[in-house]
A = this chain, B = another copy of it.
């Protein structure tokens, strides 16, 4: 029986072979550069995919919330890093979980550092997050006053251990990657050299998928924590991080109506499935995902321009090529490569592999 026979409603397919290949390639790249890879599991959010990652020497992971980190506990990870400015309301919960699991967190202000000093009775590591320059979050790279204030407060606790500096250049999604990485290398090298005498074991870490995919020179950066590369998506293929054939997930969607005269196909598949990330389409409209053809071994990519041109909560409308419109029937299943796989996986909450088995994804947010 094909995995396709069990699908009657929108279902997120996962090609294990492609996913493992992505993990293997990034692990090889990290190794080649003498770096440690701790993938950001905000993308996969999965025990099973975590087990695949272990096959490529990966021993630590990254999460974006304490709730997600909790889901990843008890899976044998040597450390779980929470790559988000720590939320002081969760200090007690972190302390409880830290009895059994090694964690590191990110700090960017003295208030939260003070809170952890007061609450922690179990060991927790911390990174100081450095603002990558696009203003989302972090301590400015030259704000040594704030860096030293955080370090000074942290020293009051025997349970809060400085691990190093984290810089997430998320603006590689919009700008010149080589230039951004030049700045990233310089900023982290400067900080390491400034604080290494006092903290000889400190490490530096970076993490975005576009940068980690296309950069070859990481300088003396020690660690990388990209997330999206585990699946990739159309946003990444557009940025040049991957080929479309590297995308490990596709949504299987039922065809519920066809308008041959308009080359349009109505599918069950909308914002609650794909989320609403969008790319501009070359026809001047929008692109919420691209059509692939499903078969028993996975999918093939026609690259014929058929794409999801609009979505509402549950509806999606495909603008179809002449070839697709001539073949498609009501009740068929089509595949859609997503624009943003992290958000799509989060919306769906489970994966179906090509051998018809379900793979877990953390529930809730």
Using a CB–CB cutoff of 8 Å, the interface residues on chain A facing chain B are 7-10, 42, 64-67, 84-90, 93, 108-109, 111-112, 115, 135-137, 170, 254, 256-258, 262, 264, 266, 268, 271-273, 275-277, 310, 312-315, 317, 329-331, 333, 342-343, 346-350, 363-365
Contact = CB atoms under 8 A, between A and B. Distances in A.
A271 B343 contact: yes
Given A112-B330, A275-B275, A257 B365 contact: no
11 contacts: A9-B67, A10-B365, A65-B268, A65-B314, A84-B314, A85-B266, A88-B254, A89-B254, A111-B330, A275-B275, A347-B347
A256 B86 contact: yes
A276 B277 contact: yes
A87 B315 contact: no
Please give the count of copies of this chain that the complex contains: 2
A86 B257 CA distance: 9
Contact of A85 (B170, B256, B313, B346): B256
Contact of A109 (B85, B257, B343): B257
A310 B112 CA distance: 23
Given A111-B331, A136-B317, A87 B365 contact: no
Question: Chain A interface mostly helix, strand, loop or mixed?
Answer: mixed
Contact of A315 (B7, B84, B273, B313): B84
Given A313-B42, A349-B364, A87 B272 contact: no
Nearest to A310: B136
B331 A272 contact: no
Contacts of A84: 256, 268, 314-315
